[in-house]
Amino acid sequence: MESTWKSLAGLSFLVSMALFLLLKLRKSRVNSKQRPPGPPAWPIFGNIFDLGAIPHQTLYKFKLKYGPVIWLELGYTSTLVIQSAETAAELFKNHDLAFSDRKVPFAFTVHDYHQGSLAMGRYGPNWCILRRLCSIELMTTKKINQTAVLRQKCIDNMIRYIEEDVAEAEAQGESTEIKVAHYLFLMTFNLIGNLVLSRDLVNPRSKDGHEFYNATNSIMKWSGMPNVADFLPFLKWLDPQGIMRNMVQDMGRAMRIVEKFVKERTEEQKSGIKKTNDFLDALLEYEVDGKDVPEKISDQNRLIIILVNMVP
């Protein structure tokens, strides 16, 4: 009995010493480089636990204490928080190149997805090419005005799908309640499909459409899930939440369907069928005029760019 108490006392002493050292390290951690003020960070976990259950309210309290520019350590990820319009204007006006890149979440590195994304890609010649393509082929006033007919078509199809599903439910004696958000998502999906590929991506009666819809839905689910490996990189190999494994599978499914679309278009062009002049045609025909980048967009990057633009 006495030995047990001694063991417990020794364990309590070790735990107390460990907590004391952690607190001391937290207070004494000083970065030799100049950086904005912020709360002291715990070893390994940084300020993750300081954010609390409602992070945006916590950040507001930090602003009152440390000012509009705050430095946080989220695990092993250094994070700069800007909380005033004036500071944001200063950052984007005078330091835009220094802060033009962003940390790519672990899930978006699957199949090099981030390389075809304006939001995730690193700033450089390839990113500038992608921005130019998207701006010219999708975002000009002329292109937007030309999509009025497509938008009306997709809205009409959405109404028709709702009417058909309600009629089918009535015939089977089932509830005729519908989820409007579901049909709006389908409409948006098909609108993007018409802009990029000149075709509907999802038809409620189509097997391929359902597969692509489910795959992209899963991609958005996994990409929106907080991933502990983003903050503690030494856990990447373990993938404790299974996010990487699921993204590899679901993104692979979506890319195989996109590849099928691209092959169909390539065969149509070889057979002399009239071009549709959509975003896919622009990608297939685009030739780079710079010296530091490949003359053509690679097949892999082309698939990624299309997939990025098709995910609502």
What is the average per-residue pLDDT within 204-210? 65
Tell me the C-alpha distance between 139 and 141, whole Å.
Answer: 7
Report the pLDDT averaged over residues 77-105: 87
pLDDT in tens, 266-289: 888 778 776 677 888 888 888 766
DSSP-assigned letters across all residues of 23-83: HHHHHH---SS--------BTTTBTGGGG-SSHHHHHHHHHHHH-SEEEEEETTEEEEEE-
Alpha helices, DSSP H, located in 172-202: 180-197
What's the confidence (pLDDT) of residue 43? 87
Paired tokens of 172: 């089977």
| pLDDT beyond 50 at 30 | no
Which stretch of 176-185, 256-265, 288-297 has the lowest confidence by average pLDDT?
A: 288-297
How far is residue 195's CA from residue 222's CA, in Å, rounded to a whole number?
26
Q: At 281, list the tokens.
A: 């045609």
189-214 average pLDDT score: 78
- Which segment of 60-64, 132-136, 228-232 scores lowest on mean pLDDT? 132-136
**Any idea which fold 111-310 has?**
Cytochrome p450 (1.10.630)
Is 234's pLDDT higher than 80? yes
* Mean pLDDT computed over 298-307: 84
Mean pLDDT of the chain: 82
Alpha helices for the chain (secondary structure H): 2-28, 55-66, 85-94, 125-138, 141-146, 148-171, 180-197, 207-223, 228-231, 243-270, 279-285, 299-310
> What is this structure's pTM?
0.74
pLDDT digits (tens, 9 = 90+) for 153-190: 999 999 998 998 899 888 888 888 888 888 888 888 88
Write down the domain spans for the chain: 35-99, 111-310
Is pLDDT above 50 for 6? no
pLDDT band, very low/low/confident/very high, at 5 (cuts 50, 70, 90)? very low
Q: What contacts 257, CB < 8 A, 6 or more positions away? A: 208, 211, 212, 215
pLDDT of 97-151, one tens digit each? Answer: 888 777 889 999 999 888 888 888 888 887 888 888 888 888 888 888 888 888 8
At 47, the pLDDT band (50, 70, 90 cuts) reads very high
Cβ count within 10 A of residue 259: 16
Residue 228 has pLDDT above 80, yes or no: yes
Looking at residue 13, its pLDDT comes to 45
